[in-house]
Amino acid sequence: MTDHREIAVVRRPGRTLPAEDGLAALLAAYHLRTEAEKGEPVADVDGLPDRYRAEISDPRTAFAGDTVLLALHGDTAVGCVVVTSLADGQSEIKRLWTDPGFRGRGIASALLGAALAHAAEDGADSVRLSVWEWRTAAIALYERLGFTVTRSWDERDRLVCMRRAARAVVADR
């Protein structure tokens, strides 16, 4: 576990993202790793599907209206998560990623905690997310935070959909 004083989680609403804050690099790593894990590796960002390249090339537009949370170690972005705008009483958590060199320090937990707090402050009744079934460590983290598997809203094979109340109280496990 890291000394949390070393890591700061900051909010970046989509419309105010600075041009170079490290988010694009985190998103690129996330998408490249995901494609490789799906068995469809690409050499670089240019080989990614258009929708992912759009997030990387212009996160300000891609996440306009959403809230981006960054974990910073000094001035370096080491993790990110996107919390979508409230729709039908719920928010969605997307693009949770921690730089592999900073894993095991509680950064993902801190980002998720901040994302859940933001969703609750925004008035969400529930929060949902989807995760690939092979990301068992992420699924275990989500379950520790009170997420449960729910019926899928996405047709992609091997995608696990999860949900929890925005204001859920989770016992220490």
Could you tell me the two tokens for 70?
């960054």
Entry pTM: 0.87
Indicate the range of 4-18, 20-34, 112-126, 143-157 predicted with least confidence.
Answer: 4-18
Beta-carbon contacts of residue 51 (< 8 Å; ≥ 6 apart): none
Q: For residues 56 and 172, what is the distance between their CA atoms, to the nearest angstrom?
A: 36
Residue tagged 């419309």 (tokens): 15
Q: For residues 169 and 160, what is the distance between their CA atoms, to the nearest angstrom?
A: 22
* pLDDT band (50, 70, 90) for residue 170: low
Domains of the chain, CATH where assigned: 4-165 (3.40.630.30)
CA-based nearest residue to 142, from 102, 85, 105, 94: 94
Q: Which helix (H) or strand (E) holds 96?
A: strand 90-98
Instruction: Please determine, for residue 113, whether its predicted confidence score (pLDDT) is greater than 70.
Output: yes
pLDDT digits (tens, 9 = 90+) for 121-155: 999 999 999 999 999 999 999 999 999 999 999 88
Longest dimension (CA), the chain: 44
Q: For residues 20 and 27, what is the distance between their CA atoms, to the nearest angstrom?
A: 13
